[in-house]
Structure 1
């Protein structure tokens, strides 16, 4: 069944560049923007810009309502706009960068069953759903396809592609007619050259979204209240490393706690006789580096990137400030570290490795 946004988009495009089409679209976009439906308004604004590239009233209105509050335009709407929902990424920008980013968006429509993103393909863009619904689907070992989540209006996804050409980790499939806004990395890079703050805003957006997912799902951090997880997210530093990079060196003092966002790492134990034993691979969401931080000891194993990896690092000082005083988090890290030390002890003594997925 058609929805209001789909119908309005189709009607305006069918009318073409006429005063009636522009006036109707402008009024509808204004209504949606003021009612707290910014992505629908942004999508309709893109249609207006297709019909009339020089159109400025709707982009200016959206910027006045949804751009960063500390950078209002002269004569902008009153502070009531502060009660409107914030738009991820966009509402962190001042008025001019906001309008530049809006101009870089591409309006896309998808039929039910059509892929917005295909697993394994190089990522080139991020999407925001203005209307419709999609499923996130991943291909498991053995060929099974599993639906991981469903998303609807207002959701953002694919942000990894804004900072990396890494292959897509899952497919995103429309389950009904869907209208989406696509932000392509190369267009974003051109805007960032003109407005350097855009690049930093995107990196912060990317880091916080990925970290929020990890902190929400990783058992080490689930005991933290949401506001503390948000505060902790600001302390992590994003690192992109190439395959073959040594992240932690056995015998050296650990410099922080690491979260693996994307990619695969292998911990390797070097025996006194020079032989090496590899542990189970570390994958998305895994934590490492906790033994050195908690016990003040040199790193118990070397951790090397097997593929290009996206990591988040919490430095020693930030760890002490944010986590060392959290009894439940500290206990979870101690359990994890004790498991790993026990496994190392058995390897060094020549005994068989423990069953299961025990990691260093």
Structure 2
């Protein structure tokens, strides 16, 4: 939303010329919607709803143009709008659900250097960028602050907050003036009571984007072509594991390949005399369970969730079927498994404690 339009509407409101402010905002939102700029139109639509809570023309127009046509309550796009872009999340909803979601997003502006999200704080909302750019920054274990990526218009981030109030994994900092739409989890939960499709669509949206992000950035899977990663994403299963639960039991046949998305797990090696040795904890992005699957052996260690965890699981049958056609991924997992077996052998031979920096189980 450009500053002149926003300032013009706000100035008219301050002057008490509310009908004129509403007409100006509606006219511009309609133009942006028909020009294929739905996020700008949604941001201005929210301003309209603040000026006139009973206003329905613009939300209906947006829904007619961008809601999912074949969903219950959905409608076909208006004539001549076949080339309009789909809006992630929003366009997966039918007409009424679309309008309800538009009604609860909150336009937010940030200046360069301001944090939209702060690492470590509880996550309660997600964002989509309407204008500007941001950097995703993480505090590394050595104290270094590292920029992981830069995001621009149309990018979503912070989606995990829509399903879980987990600590933020990174900070998001404005590098330009930013206009963003913020979506609060409590508001999504509230409208989901009336429109259950909203809650289910948000969960599917979160899962798909989380999978895509992990597979794109993980060193074992990043070499795959986008179509291959998309195929793999469909066969991974997202699971939530409560603290204290054993995910893999040493000596038992492994049931799948696991990728830790969030939380912390501890690998434990049980010696023949019954003593247990803890390996360095598994953290976000770590893979485990590959040894049993690749070598057809019982699991070489127990893996226990120390905190509530989100994991991706690829079952044994799907693992074998998929990796038979992906020699590069199989080779990478075989190298990882071999290094871990070597590490366990050294541990048995030396009896020394395991230190940070050792290969993880």
Q: TM-score range by the shorter chain?
A: over 0.9
State the shift of 1:34 in Å: 2.4
Q: Give deviations 1:249-308, integer Å, cap 9, x for gaps.
A: 111221111111112212111111111222222111111111112222221101112222
Q: Tell me the distance in 1 between the aligned counterparts of 2:82 and 2:316.
A: 37
Q: Is the 8 A contact 1:66 1:81 kept in 2?
A: no
State the shift of 1:83 in Å: 2.3
Q: Is the 8 A contact 2:137 2:170 kept in 1?
A: yes
- 1:130 equivalent in alignment to 2:127: no
Secondary structure of the residue that 2:33 maps to in structure 1?
helix
Secondary structure of the residue that 1:215 maps to in structure 2?
helix
- 1:342 equivalent in alignment to 2:339: no
Q: Is the 8 A contact 1:13 1:51 kept in 2?
A: no
Give the alignment of 1:285-300 within 5 angstroms: 285-300=285-300
Q: Tell me the distance in 2 between the aligned counterparts of 1:97 and 1:219.
A: 38
Q: Tell me the distance in 2 between the aligned counterparts of 1:74 and 1:117.
A: 36
Q: Tell me the distance in 2 between the aligned counterparts of 1:231 and 1:37.
A: 30
State the shift of 1:50 in Å: 0.8
Q: Which residue of 1 aligns with 2:78?
A: 77
State the shift of 1:29 in Å: 1.4
Q: Tell me the distance in 1 between the aligned counterparts of 2:37 and 2:98.
A: 17
State the shift of 1:351 in Å: 6.4
Q: Tell me the distance in 2 between the aligned counterparts of 1:59 and 1:263.
A: 39
Q: Which residue of 1 aligns with 2:10?
A: 13
Q: Tell me the distance in 2 between the aligned counterparts of 1:178 and 1:300.
A: 49
State the shift of 1:75 in Å: 7.1
Q: Which residue of 1 aligns with 2:240?
A: 240
Query: CA RMSD for the aligned pairs?
Result: 2.1
State the shift of 1:150 in Å: 2.0
State the shift of 1:201 in Å: 1.5
What is the TM-score when the length of structure 2 is the normalising length?
Answer: 0.92
Q: Tell me the distance in 1 between the aligned counterparts of 2:254 and 2:194.
A: 39
Q: Tell me the distance in 1 between the aligned counterparts of 2:355 and 2:147.
A: 32
Q: Tell me the distance in 2 between the aligned counterparts of 1:238 and 1:73.
A: 29
The aligned length equals 356
What is the TM-score when the length of structure 1 is the normalising length?
Answer: 0.92
**Unpaired runs of at least 5, structure 2:** none
State the shift of 1:141 in Å: 3.5
Secondary structure of the residue that 2:235 maps to in structure 1?
coil
Secondary structure of the residue that 2:341 maps to in structure 1?
helix
State the shift of 1:238 in Å: 1.4
Secondary structure of the residue that 1:328 maps to in structure 2?
helix
Q: Give deviations 1:76-102, integer Å, cap 9, x for gaps.
A: 503x43422221111111111111111
Q: Which residue of 2 aligns with 1:311?
A: 311
Give the alignment of 1:219-298 within 5 angstroms: 219-298=219-298
How has the CA–CA distance of structure 1 residues 20 and 355 changed in structure 2, closer, same or farther, with 3 Å as cutoff?
closer
State the shift of 1:323 in Å: 2.5
Secondary structure of the residue that 1:27 maps to in structure 2?
helix
Q: Tell me the distance in 2 between the aligned counterparts of 1:48 and 1:279.
A: 56
